[in-house]
A and B are shown apart, each in its own frame.
Chain A
Amino acid sequence: MMVDFNSVDFLPWLVPVGPLLAFLIISLATNRAKPEPASSLVYGGFRPPYGDLGVPVATSWSRILSITVGISGVVMSLLVSWRLVFTATATKDFGEVVFGSSVDWLSLGSLPAFQMGVLVDPLNSAMLFMVPLAVLCIFIYSIGYMAHDPRQSRFFALISLFAGAMLTLVVADNLLLLFVGWEVMGLCSYLLIGFWYEKDTAYKAAIKAFTTTRVADVLMLLGIAYLYAETGTLSFREILYNPAVLEALAGKEALLFGGFGLSAAGLIGIFLVIGTIGKSAQFPLHLWLPDAMQGPTPVSAMIHAAAMVSAGIYAILRMYPVFAAGGDPHHGIFTAPLLLMAVVGAFTALFAATMAVAQNDVKAVLAYSTISQLGFMMAALGIGAYIAAAFHLITHAFFKALLFMASGSVIHAMEHGEHHAHEHHAPAHGIGGGADPHDAHSHDAHAEHGHDAHHDAHDSHAFDPQDMRNMGGLDKKIPVTYWTFLAGGLSLAGFPLITAGFWSKDEILADAWLGTTEGFGPHALVFVMLAVAAFMTAFYTMRQIGLTFKGEARTEPAQHAGLGGQYDIISQTMQLPLIILTPFALFAGFVGVPKDFPIFGSIFASEHNPFKYFVIESLHPVLHFEAPAFNWFPVLVSFAVALGGIYLGYRMYWVKPLKAGEEDPMIKILGGDLYTTLQRRYYMDELYVLLFVQPSQWISRQVNEFVDKGIIDSVLHGIARFFTWVGDLTKVLNAWLIDGVGDGIPRWIFQAGGWLRGAQTGKVQQYLLVVLIAAVVIGVIFALTAGAVTAQ
């Protein structure tokens, strides 16, 4: 096989190479640190009691080189990916024709060799457009956001690996390679959520994220193993673009629950869906995602938008033909995995939205909104709205990446303000004390920043820069952040016609409505749940923007909030990505306008819905379905829920902004108990501790103490005691019998000697008598044994 990287068939191999190489280069070469006393200012804001212990702090040249290497890697991916995407859009019959190549990777015995390869088809073309762009923005943002972190080089190594894993997953042509990327991302999320591992909460959150997704992952792995055992291949094209294989899978009874009419495809599908439920944080495995905000904000953007959670939905999109095998959601025939997705997705969408309403942490609102929006996609896939889900995945990634980075910028500004406030009122406070105020101003603020979530750990007055109640009036302090946040927020809220979020959500609702009119239960459920969730989305987004940016500053830090000057490199690198992403958050929706949508359809989709027309070709023609005809009802519903929610939020939080010391009006409306319940996430963390953590600890304690030490070791020790006792017994016997005999024999001989002396009478008759008796005895014994021998 000639490797020719000018050919588009080989080019996909290069997509993940840049970031992976960057990871290696940074971790092996450019990540250099010199030890600094932990009490030194350069050692970040969160300062554990290390005293003057030397801790490694990245040197400036190491930072610059690592950043350069990291960004170059992503730029390389971006260029290769976009080249592929543009070639793909220009290729005739793309979908039937795909770009890809593979190599023999492993062969066992007589089984056909396992092919490891890459593939670009319409579905992942869309991903290849979005992922590198969002990732590049996140990288640029990290230059500023992590500028004063002692481990910035390491950070760039890890997010490069993260990006490389995501891109590997996207270009994989088989489920095994996809799973490799999937798991490596899980690992990166663990390392990055726990990046500030000195913080108790951070590494606990990291463990929680990792173990929760791990539970789902092993089940997914079983699904993969089952699929491989059934079909002998894991290649997407061979399984998914092959109706014969799908039919066979759908026709075969599953090894488990086969009696209930579950097909092999159904069981495999359920396993794979469970994997996504974990990775994309769907109910009931959603708890890790809000905690994951303990990581630095760029990581949150990475997890929530560009990479990890999107990967879950992408995997389902990828494997969709397996889920749909044997069913047809467009005609009301649902398979088990589809139903599972519809129910879980719809429920999660609404459930998470209710929790988002009552959060005060600016990042927490976004975290719950991510869970909710992923629920939208999951539900859409459950009812067969394949295109709508893919579309929402892309638009959501853009506006959610924007929102996360903008919220990081808000937090940064608040921390900045806090230090400013300190200088005026508490000059002796903490580490800034005594330094030149001008110098300390910028220095301290940045040293502090980044360790956002854990301020209270070392701050005497426990100021939380993420708490929206402490904010207010930031629109005038950080206008760029405000306007970009607003753009992202409106897109999330689905503001009609001009935002991307509207078009993608509308399409999901349109599909759900079509099924509802035909009387399919799951469609109706999805439609109702998602409409309500969309309303709440619009509301909590407006609440968030209102609380953060509107009204007057409620605290002193908010009064002094700022990003540190217009020409500051930090300020610039943090705002540039926001500006890049804003147009995508607003206008990316126009690629997916339905053809017969009034006015817009004729502008943006004169021939056909471009996104749909392109992406649907990922599926085998057998699976193609017609777009729903234009219907006013779902569009009006979209309008109503978005505008209704926005209006309500506007009334409550914009018209009468919260004043300092005032209580959130929500508490009055919902009542304290309900409000607290929502805020505490329905107490599910506590419930899980009660249901899973404590019982598993109890079981392991019992196994350890009762079974292992109690039964098995006791039996062993019992046996040992028994043998010791037997040994003692033998010893006694030995003393009494053997020794008795042993000692007795000489004594007996001695005595017998004395007796024999008496017997030696010298009388021949007596001797003869003895000989005779002896001869008789011997003769009898001989006769008996000989008889026995002959008898045999």
Chain B
Amino acid sequence: MAGFSILSAIVFIPIIAGVLLLFMNPKQRDLIRGVAITAAAVMLALSAVVFFSFNNLIADRGGYQQETFYTEGDKLQIDASIGESAGTALYAEALRYEERIPWLTSLGIYYHMGVDGLTAPMILLTGMVTVAGVLISWNITDRQREFYAFFMLLVAGVYGVFMAVDIFVLFFFYELAIFPMYLLIAGWGWVKLREYASMKLTLYILIGSVVALVGILALYFTAAEFFQGEGAPILTAAIESELLPADSQPFSFSMVQLTLAAENGAFDIPFLGDVTLAKFWFPFIFIGFAVLAGVFPFHNWSPDGHVAAPTAVSMIHAGVLMKLGAYAALRTGVQLMPEAAQVHLPWIVFLTLINVVYGALIAFRQRDFKYVIGFSSVSHMGLVSMGWATMNLTGMTGAGLQMFSHGAMTALFFGCVGMVYDRAHTRDIPSLGGFIKKMPWVGFAFIVGGLTSMGMPGLSGFMAEFPIFQGMWEASENVVLRIGLFELTNYYTILVILAALGIVITAAYVLRVTSQVFFGEFNAEKYPEVGDIAIQDRVILLLLGTPLVILGIYPAIMAPMISTGLMPILQLLSGGM
């Protein structure tokens, strides 16, 4: 653990840079920009190191096959004395670059970081979007110093959530991200909407996270009680076999330890009548986090927030922050309460379907360029949650890919919108037109993004949606929805057909926007200032557009990694069956 630890570097660089920025002379704009872009570039480089070396780490293990994953590595020898621990062992084994420093040991809180196959792509995505966000704010004149400082804090929060192995640390960074987000929107946002939107967004997310926190605390205390009582031998055995560190105590926020508790049925104790603790708390925890992923009917903060936010914040918000919700919902919800997931996800999937279709329908109606993208995010994030709800490898891997793909794509979209808005000073779709003539790069990038969002093969959106659809077919025969005596089977097929129609609507609104904004006739008198974009804008478009193509042609760069990250969760789900 000693020496240079890459994850901490990634998290603390933005914090240090943010604080440093606050103490700089606001008139030295070049210096401010320089510090911001240097910090962002270093983060991106380190993130890329994490991502690509992670790939090598897996490859060194002799391929991506599940069999090898089970047999190799000493921790995976499932010791009978640890009880049920296959999933936990897989999870512990999947973590890389772990760091663990005592923090509040009396409460079992450790600064415990690590990445697995699911989060490594997210780390890379965050790095990309950060650089893009810094570049697109290059010419902000209003309090640029503070803007970059808050932006850096926001990024630190995002990174922290993806890396946290300790749920307390996860919450810490989660809230750390929300606070600067509020300031950025309220302070630099679109004047007409910023107060309303920033308030709406913050309240939604805070309430969601507080609800989830209560649930997590319930699990924490239950697990502690379990390890003090009947689970004590399991804890001892786990420490002996090095599954858990030697200083582990019954009270712990560590995901590994909580997962071990979950796997051994600690949360399946009666709570409210017949309902077990896990089954009671699952909806609160899952949806509490999924609010940030824009799950219906708690999505309404998101389009308003996106529209009101300055471009860089929209990019990081839709690109990365919404993924935090989806990720945390999976990590804490499904991983800690797999049996409950099998009870609840079969109905939550309806919400995700509504997300997909409903978001697309509303996007189709919007006149404001940015609202179109905002609602399209709602629609696409529905596919991520739908992928979780398949509860099989194919569908969930698709969802993981969708998180990355949508992140890059939507950041690209917001970048394009921002570039058009900066020059045209309006986002009213009908009054724009013919912009591809003046801004060919932006037009082309927008088309690439649009094609990705409508699932064009050869681009990443397709490689994400196809597995999700396929996962839905595969899941159809396994998933049963029971409400009282009412039982519903085999309905995933119908849902997937309806969801696919949502993709058609996506194509319709993307084409509508593309044709109205970029094609058609250009009004030279109305938009005299519209000209081609600057070099840093091109960097943004390339940075965000290229991965869409690479991932679309060669998904093997990411998909196997994601599926190894999902293996523990699948093991828990199948163990629970």
Contact = CB atoms under 8 A, between A and B. Distances in A.
Interface of A: 48-51, 53, 55-56, 105-111, 176, 179-180, 182-184, 187, 190, 194, 197-198, 200, 203, 206-207, 210-211, 214-215, 218-219, 221-222, 224-226, 228-230, 255-256, 696-697, 699-701, 703-704, 707-708, 712-713, 716
Contacts of B52: none
A225 B466 CA distance: 7
A218 B393 contact: no
A121 to B, nearest CB: 23
A512 B200 CA distance: 67
Nearest to A182: B457
Contacts of B394: 108, 111, 229
B520 to A, nearest CB: 7
B511 A210 contact: yes
Residue of A55, A107, A108, A200 contacting most chain B CB atoms (<10 Å): A108
Given A109-B393, A198-B519, A696-B361, 10 more contacts: A108-B560, A109-B567, A187-B456, A215-B504, A218-B504, A219-B500, A225-B466, A225-B496, A256-B497, A703-B362
A111 B560 CA distance: 11
Interface string B387-399: 0000001100100
Contact of A108 (B473, B554, B559): B559
A708 B300 contact: yes
Interface in B494-513: 494, 496-497, 500-501, 503-505, 507-508, 511-512
Contacts of A200: 520
A194 B500 contact: no
Interface string B258-291: 0000000000000000000000000000000000
Interface string B462-498: 1000110110111011000000000000100110110
A368 B493 CA distance: 36
Dominant secondary structure at the B interface:
helix
A53 B524 contact: yes
B223 interface: no
Nearest to B521: A48
A110 B564 CA distance: 10
Nearest to A701: B365
B507 A211 contact: yes
Nearest to A711: B297
Contact of A203 (B64, B519, B563): B519
B458 interface: yes
Interface in B517-547: 519-522, 524
A203 B520 contact: yes
B457 A111 contact: no
A197 B456 CA distance: 21
B563 A108 contact: yes
A585 B560 CA distance: 50
A700 B365 contact: yes
Interface in B191-235: 200
Classify chain B's interface size. 35 or more
Contacts of B393: 108-111
A221 B524 contact: no
Contact of A704 (B361, B467, B500, B570): B361
B456 A226 contact: no
A255 B476 contact: yes
B470 A256 contact: no
A700 B509 CA distance: 11
A55 B508 contact: no
B379 to A, nearest CB: 12
Most B CB atoms within 10 A — which of A194, A228, A229?
Answer: A229
Contact of B497 (A106, A222, A224): A222
B381 to A, nearest CB: 16
A222 B493 CA distance: 9
Contact of B457 (A184, A197, A256, A704): A184
Given A107-B560, A211-B504, A187 B469 contact: no
Interface in B323-364: 358, 361-362, 364
A198 B494 CA distance: 41
B520 A708 contact: no
Given A48-B521, A107-B556, A712 B457 contact: no
Contacts of A106: 555-556, 559-560
A228 to B, nearest CB: 5
Most buried by A among B462, B467, B493: B493
Listed from nearest, the 7 A-B pairs whose CB atoms lie closest are A110-B66, A229-B473, A180-B457, A225-B470, A700-B361, A197-B519, A218-B500
A700 B504 CA distance: 14
A110 B451 contact: no
11 contacts: A105-B554, A108-B563, A109-B66, A110-B65, A197-B436, A203-B520, A218-B504, A222-B500, A229-B474, A696-B361, A704-B362
A211 B511 contact: yes
B437 A187 contact: no
A670 B211 CA distance: 73
Interface string B42-71: 000000000000000000000011110000
A701 to B, nearest CB: 6
Contacts, number: 160
B362 A700 contact: yes
A158 B500 CA distance: 28
A708 B563 contact: no
A69 B189 CA distance: 49
B365 A704 contact: yes
Contacts of A708: 300, 358, 362
A184 B458 contact: yes
A540 B455 CA distance: 40
A218 B519 contact: no
Nearest to A708: B362
Contacts of A699: 361
A27 to B, nearest CB: 10
B541 to A, nearest CB: 15
A107 B451 CA distance: 25
B454 interface: yes
B571 to A, nearest CB: 11
B64 A107 contact: yes
Contacts of B519: 194, 197-198, 203
Given A712-B297, A712-B300, A197 B65 contact: no
B515 interface: yes
Contacts of B66: 109-110
B64 A716 contact: no
Given A111-B393, A207-B515, A198 B457 contact: no
Contacts of B469: 221-222, 225
B12 to A, nearest CB: 35
Contact of A198 (B362, B462, B520, B567): B520
Contact of B300 (A111, A218, A713): A713
A523 B512 CA distance: 43
B358 A225 contact: no
Nearest to B378: A708
Contacts of B560: 106-108
- Residue in B397, B437, B451, B567 whose Cβ sees the most chain A Cβ within 10 Å: B437
A197 B466 contact: no
A207 B511 contact: yes
A197 B520 contact: yes
A197 B437 CA distance: 11
A50 B522 contact: yes
Nearest to A210: B511
Contacts of A700: 361-362, 364-365, 505
A703 B434 CA distance: 30
A664 B570 CA distance: 71
A266 B362 CA distance: 35
Nearest to A52: B524
Contacts of B397: 108-109
A206 B507 CA distance: 12
Interface in B406-464: 434, 436-437, 451, 454-458, 462
A707 B524 CA distance: 39
Contacts of A203: 515, 519-520
B476 A50 contact: no
B66 to A, nearest CB: 4
